[in-house]
Structure 1
Amino acid sequence: MELEYVNEHIGRKIKDLRNQNGLTQQELADRTELTKGFISQLERGQVSPSVGTLLDLIECLGTTASDFFKETEEEQIVFSENGFFEKVDDVGNQIQWIVPTAQKYQMEPLLVTIAPHQRLDEDKPHSGEEFGYLISGRVKLHLGEKVYQVKAGNSFYYPAKEKHWIENPGSRPAKFIWVSTPPNF
């Protein structure tokens, strides 16, 4: 890692912490017995602080060296098909986990294709809710003792407190987005 990059990185983090603490450059300089000019140069990555000076700054900004230097991974926001996880059952029903890391989140979105005249396994009642949007085909949503007809362009939403399953009564595959919270697949 180049020294210039390190200086810029440290300077940016010092400035962010200073702003989060509502301090001016002068106030931080006064607390650390440094000059406002040095703080300004440091925040722009133009100078390298000594280890002792950096530790004093970090302490005055209310954090620790380990937290200051901890790198946080940037969360993935966009997911592409090549990262999807896919399961196809014995009758040709296909479930794609379209956000592969969804288990750590509160929602689990799936892309589901039910083969003609097939159904998904019955889900037992569980906490949470489920949402679906039918992209193509038609399905029957079985929720407890009731059956709901869903056609392309329709959506469905329900608390998952009753047994439920989805079937495709048609002669074409039925494709839909299915979101469950909390994740349970």
Structure 2
Amino acid sequence: MVYDIKEYDFNKNIKEIISNNIRKYRKMRGYTQEQLALYTDRSFEFIRRIESDRGKRGFSIETLWRISIVLGVPLDDFFKEEEKEEVTF
């Protein structure tokens, strides 16, 4: 996806977008937070906070890289915002 830089909203919370995507892809793979924590060598509490704090908790690129490998999701997919479906009547 290519953005028109003049129209891109840099006020979006990228950490929240990433956190939402981590949760989405984890559930798609059928993993629990405990399993993701185990496979990424992170604590359950750390994974829980990443997903539940809506981007308020920071995490390293290494952690995101580990999650990417475990879930089999390319890194750039975590930065993509879900497109809202437009409902027309």
The structure whose residues are more often strand, as a share, is 1
Q: Note if contact 2:17-2:80 (Cα within 8 Å) is conserved in structure 1.
A: no
Identity %: 34
Calculate the aligned-residue CA RMSD, in Å.
1.9
How far residue 64 of structure 1 moved from its aligned partner, in angstroms, is 0.1
SS of the equivalent of 1:76 reads coil
Q: Note if contact 1:8-1:44 (Cα within 8 Å) is conserved in structure 2.
A: no
Extract unaligned runs of 5+ from structure 2: 1-10
Match of 1:61 among 71, 80, 83: 71
TM-score by length of 1: 0.37
Aligned to 1:24: 32
For the pair shown, which has the larger CA radius of gyration, 1 or 2? 1
Deviations 1:4-35 (A, max 9, x none): x3333222211111111111111101110000
TM-score by length of 2: 0.72
Aligned to 2:80: 70
Match of 1:11 among 10, 19, 28: 19
State how many pairs are aligned: 77
Deviations 1:110-153 (A, max 9, x none): xxxxxxxxxxxxxxxxxxxxxxxxxxxxxxxxxxxxxxxxxxxx
Aligned to 1:36: 44
The structure whose residues are more often helix, as a share, is 2
Distance 1:56 1:13 in 2: 14
How far residue 57 of structure 1 moved from its aligned partner, in angstroms, is 0.8
Matched, 1:49 2:25: no
Distance 2:17 2:40 in 1: 20
Q: Counterparts of 1:16-165 in structure 2 under 5 Å? A: 16-45=24-53, 46-78=56-88
Distance 2:82 2:33 in 1: 26
Distance 2:81 2:17 in 1: 11
How far residue 59 of structure 1 moved from its aligned partner, in angstroms, is 1.8
Extract unaligned runs of 5+ from structure 1: 80-185
Q: Which has the higher contact order (CA 8 A, sep 6+)?
A: 2
